[in-house]
Structure 1
Amino acid sequence: MPINNVIREKRKELGLTQEQLADYLGVSAPAVNKWEKGGTYPDISLLPALARLLKVDMNTLMGFHEGLTKQEISSISKNVVDEIKANGYSAGFKMLMEKIQEYPNCYELIHTAAMLLDGSLLYYGAGISDREYYENQITTLYERAAKGDDEQIREKACFMLVSNYIKHSEYDKAQEMLDLLPDKSALDKRNFQAQILINQNKLTEAAILLERKLIMEVNDLHMTLVSLMDISIKENNIQNAAYQVEVYRQSAKIFDLWDYNSYIAPLELALNLKNIPDSVSNLKAMLDAIFQPWDMKSSPLYSHIGISYPQENTGRLMLSPLLSELETNPRYDFLRTNEEFTKLLKQYRAKYPE
């Protein structure tokens, strides 16, 4: 709770008027009024006397140990997303940073803010000119969360930092952060937890636990296959790379993933080989797949956690940053003279204008 709210609420709890509080502290009533409205703050020399008068300790007065519930953090996140949609990314960023200034030691809020801003930058940040500034600020938030006192949040933040550092080729930092993480246990306790729940006939809880575990492990498998493909390409072993891509593609279908996922690795291989026909073909398939529904709930693998995505809205959110990437990233320069590639971009820009 901000200091102005503490002063106002504690004063009222004690049945004091602003005039009485001012008299006790030797200041004017308008000064107290400004404190409570947040326009100004008490002089530092007055803080001990003010805390004693309001019958609170200094930490409570200054809000040092103040935290937020998960529900409050969820509500803040929703408000920020609404602000981004209404007034743009920078407005939502400003709102969230102000909230973090209010709760500087709430590491769950800091970590949630980093993830929200990270995701929103992908969806809504296509036209932002100072994108690098925001990326650096997001990294700073993850670094703050990684120094917090909550072990789970620290680990999540460290994983995100490793990913970000690798993305920016900061491999020494990535290794340093990775070394801070505990080695994964050879025994996954989620399997034991599921068996306990099954034996207790808590079948829905067990299914939710295992389905979430499955989707996470499939995603991990795909990251591994893409990395193996990258190694094979660097070793100039295209046959191995093609095989790894095919395993990726088939597993996406076997595990009932969104059709969009099936084209990620094939596109990566085509781009690395600068294969124009395959690159264009996979890009077209990906762009088409963005607007195809993914009904997780209809899959026997995810029937307890699955939801039906409103794909038209999701597709529109993903399309703009994806098209901007295709239009500006030097990685796609070898495609720019290809008539089918330029026609594809124009077609989707015209079909779904920003």
Structure 2
Amino acid sequence: MKEELGRTIQQLRKVQCYTQEQMADAVGVSVAAVSKWENGVSCPDVTMLPVLARYLDTDVNTLLSFHKKLSEAEAASLISELSDIFFDSGFEAAYAFLLEKIREYPGSDMLVLNGAMALSGAMALSSTLVMDGDQKAAERYEEEIERLYKKASESDDPAICSQARFMLASRYMGREDYDGAEALIDMLPDEQAYDKRQMQANLCLARNQLAAAGEIEERKLMLAANSLNMVFVTLIEIAVREGRLEDAQYLAEAADSTARALDMWEYTAQLPWFELYTHRKDRDNCLKTLGSMLASVTDGWNYTSSPLYRHMRKKEGEERFGPRMRESLLSAVEHDERYAFLRDSEEWNRIISAGGGTDRGAGQDET
């Protein structure tokens, strides 16, 4: 009881960004007393619980950990609900919902991490925060998202901790804090010598659970295909920046062939071309490729029709992924300075007015 209560007090304190000293001063105890509570050495007096609950913006039931811990499925369901709230009611409502659930389940680091990732994606779509002149609000929310990542990076779960550090490193690189990014990257684990998923698949095979083994391996294949696609995108950027344009073209062709060989959706096959044409400022081919990408995400991806992914099951709410990805892609092109050269054109205006639909036979150089 003491240990669980101590962990809950510490987690709620960190959610509010309070130090032990600040909390001690606010509730009228010593820093040593707070430290003993959080380390499970002692418990606060029962008369102190309502004071602590008010200070930590929660209730006594939550403080005493009467709420059950979230399972992975339950956390995923809450993130899906958060996404629906964002698209129905906007960013502020989604942000408020997440903070409420974190207060309700202060021990769920998975909820903190996935919530921060969901809000990051929502921020990319919430251009109105900036377009309406509320730059300060946008900056404040970005700081809050980063705070959530930092909280998740302190998780006892190695997977959650590493993912949070990865996301933080990406954010640091985005604002050119390369030293900060390097420090976080150095803390990430190297590749493991064993493959847990492969062992799980082998176990399923031994038990003659063929469908389960097939789904594990097919999901691994899909993840590997997506990872390989991003490797090609990075190599294309390197080749262009080094002035090796013929190599960049070759890499785009190789990426396209690989995506099609692995039955990936059209968006994956077109992404390397889009990056190549963006780096080359080739507006016509870039817009044609963008059209194919938008058409692909609008139509969706029926990957279960491929023999390569026959055992994979679609996740709940997956049908909403395509339309939301289309909105994200359009928002990126509309507001990211890298794509400014695309926006002053009749084709871009046509894409916007048509809601993103365009011909699908694009994406390749005509030469």
Q: Which residue of structure 2 aligns with residue 20 of structure 1?
A: none
Which amino acid is 2:78 matched to?
I
Determine which of 297, 317, 321 is the counterpart of 2:324: 317
Q: Which residue of structure 1 aligns with residue 129 of structure 2?
A: 128
Q: Which residue of structure 1 aligns with residue 182 of structure 2?
A: 175
* 1:175-208 Cα distance to aligned partner (Å, 9 max, x none): 2111111110344343343223212212122112
Q: Which residue of structure 2 aligns with residue 142 of structure 1?
A: 149
| CA distance in structure 1 between the aligned counterparts of 2:74 and 2:194, rounded to whole angstroms | 35
**CA-CA distance at 1:215 after TM superposition:** 1.3
| CA distance in structure 1 between the aligned counterparts of 2:255 and 2:166, rounded to whole angstroms | 23
Identity of aligned residues (%): 31
Which amino acid is 2:206 matched to?
N
Q: Which residue of structure 2 aligns with residue 21 of structure 1?
A: none
Determine which of 194, 200, 204 is the counterpart of 1:193: 200
| CA distance in structure 2 between the aligned counterparts of 1:61 and 1:133, rounded to whole angstroms | 27
Q: Which residue of structure 1 aligns with residue 226 of structure 2?
A: 219
- Cα separation, partners in 2 of 1:218 and 1:78, compared to 1, 3 Å: closer
* 1:248-288 Cα distance to aligned partner (Å, 9 max, x none): 11111111112112111101111111112211221222222
| CA distance in structure 1 between the aligned counterparts of 2:62 and 2:296, rounded to whole angstroms | 54
User: Residue 226 of structure 2 contacts residue 268 of structure 2 at CA under 8 Å; is this kept in 1?
Assistant: no
**CA-CA distance at 1:93 after TM superposition:** 0.3
Q: Which residue of structure 1 aligns with residue 314 of structure 2?
A: 307
**CA-CA distance at 1:323 after TM superposition:** 2.6
- Cα separation, partners in 2 of 1:190 and 1:313, compared to 1, 3 Å: closer
Q: Is residue 2:48 matched to residue 1:48?
A: no
Structure 1: stretches of 5+ with no match in the other structure = 4-42, 53-58
- Cα separation, partners in 2 of 1:126 and 1:252, compared to 1, 3 Å: farther
Q: Secondary structure at the match of 1:301?
A: helix
User: Residue 291 of structure 2 contacts residue 357 of structure 2 at CA under 8 Å; is this kept in 1?
Assistant: no
Q: Which residue of structure 2 aligns with residue 109 of structure 1?
A: 111
Q: Secondary structure at the match of 1:256?
A: coil
Which amino acid is 1:69 matched to?
L
User: Residue 126 of structure 1 contacts residue 320 of structure 1 at CA under 8 Å; is this kept in 2?
Assistant: no
Which amino acid is 1:48 matched to?
D
* 1:222-260 Cα distance to aligned partner (Å, 9 max, x none): 111111111111110011111111111111111111211
TM-score, normalising length: structure 1: 0.74
User: Residue 294 of structure 2 contacts residue 357 of structure 2 at CA under 8 Å; is this kept in 1?
Assistant: no
User: Residue 80 of structure 2 contacts residue 317 of structure 2 at CA under 8 Å; is this kept in 1?
Assistant: no
**CA RMSD, aligned part only?**
3.3
Q: Which residue of structure 2 aligns with residue 30 of structure 1?
A: none
Which amino acid is 2:94 matched to?
G
- Cα separation, partners in 2 of 1:218 and 1:88, compared to 1, 3 Å: same
Which amino acid is 2:258 matched to?
S
**CA-CA distance at 1:155 after TM superposition:** 1.7
Q: Which residue of structure 2 aligns with residue 246 of structure 1?
A: 253
User: Residue 146 of structure 1 contacts residue 153 of structure 1 at CA under 8 Å; is this kept in 2?
Assistant: yes
Q: Which residue of structure 2 aligns with residue 345 of structure 1?
A: 352
| CA distance in structure 1 between the aligned counterparts of 2:319 and 2:101, rounded to whole angstroms | 32
- Cα separation, partners in 2 of 1:284 and 1:49, compared to 1, 3 Å: closer
User: Residue 294 of structure 2 contacts residue 356 of structure 2 at CA under 8 Å; is this kept in 1?
Assistant: no
User: Residue 161 of structure 1 contacts residue 177 of structure 1 at CA under 8 Å; is this kept in 2?
Assistant: yes
| CA distance in structure 1 between the aligned counterparts of 2:313 and 2:251, rounded to whole angstroms | 28
**What does 1:1-354 align with in structure 2 at a 5 Å threshold?**
48-50=45-47, 62-63=63-64, 68-70=69-71, 72-122=74-124, 124-129=125-130, 130-307=137-314, 313-348=320-355
| CA distance in structure 1 between the aligned counterparts of 2:96 and 2:149, rounded to whole angstroms | 17
Bigger Cα Rg: 1
Which amino acid is 1:225 matched to?
F
| CA distance in structure 1 between the aligned counterparts of 2:221 and 2:251, rounded to whole angstroms | 20
Q: Secondary structure at the match of 1:174?
A: helix
| CA distance in structure 1 between the aligned counterparts of 2:48 and 2:143, rounded to whole angstroms | 38
| CA distance in structure 2 between the aligned counterparts of 1:60 and 1:314, rounded to whole angstroms | 36
Q: Secondary structure at the match of 2:45?
A: helix
| CA distance in structure 2 between the aligned counterparts of 1:310 and 1:64, rounded to whole angstroms | 31
| CA distance in structure 1 between the aligned counterparts of 2:151 and 2:114, rounded to whole angstroms | 12
User: Residue 291 of structure 1 contacts residue 312 of structure 1 at CA under 8 Å; is this kept in 2?
Assistant: no
Q: Which residue of structure 1 aligns with residue 57 of structure 2?
A: none
- Cα separation, partners in 2 of 1:60 and 1:344, compared to 1, 3 Å: closer
How many residues are paired up? 304
| CA distance in structure 1 between the aligned counterparts of 2:351 and 2:182, rounded to whole angstroms | 40
| CA distance in structure 2 between the aligned counterparts of 1:199 and 1:79, rounded to whole angstroms | 38
User: Residue 51 of structure 1 contacts residue 61 of structure 1 at CA under 8 Å; is this kept in 2?
Assistant: no
| CA distance in structure 2 between the aligned counterparts of 1:281 and 1:132, rounded to whole angstroms | 34
User: Residue 297 of structure 1 contacts residue 308 of structure 1 at CA under 8 Å; is this kept in 2?
Assistant: no
User: Residue 142 of structure 1 contacts residue 161 of structure 1 at CA under 8 Å; is this kept in 2?
Assistant: yes
| CA distance in structure 1 between the aligned counterparts of 2:105 and 2:318, rounded to whole angstroms | 36
